Amino acid sequence: MSVLATPRPVRTDTRGRLSLGEPGAEYLLWEQADGAIVLKPAITISTTDAALLADDRLQERIARAHRAAGLVRRSGGRRDTGTV
């Protein structure tokens, strides 16, 4: 594992907690053999959403519906409504 940033000291609050950012943020956590804890920001989705995204036939149907409605995706994830 490579470290991209210089480690910085952090201080716990009166209850022994550290702030990791926004409330409700999710992280993947590893505890290494030497006791070090590694946290990596994560974005998680439900198993239902993962199954829907993995269904190529469904994704093609959604793309066809978007094209029929004039909602065509351009590169960069922005929607093109077909108007100039």
User: 59-76 pLDDT, tens per residue?
Assistant: 999 999 988 988 876 655
The first and second tokens of residue 83, run together, are: 């108007």
Quickly state the pLDDT bin for 78 (edges 50, 70, 90).
Answer: low
- Does pTM top 0.75 for this prediction? no
Residues 15, 27, 51, 75, CA torsion sign: positive
Alpha-carbon distances of 46 from 22, 29, 41, 53, rounded to whole Å: 21, 19, 17, 11
Nearest CA to 72 out of 59, 60, 63, 84 is that of 63
User: 5-36 pLDDT, tens per residue?
Assistant: 677 787 889 999 888 878 888 888 888 899 88
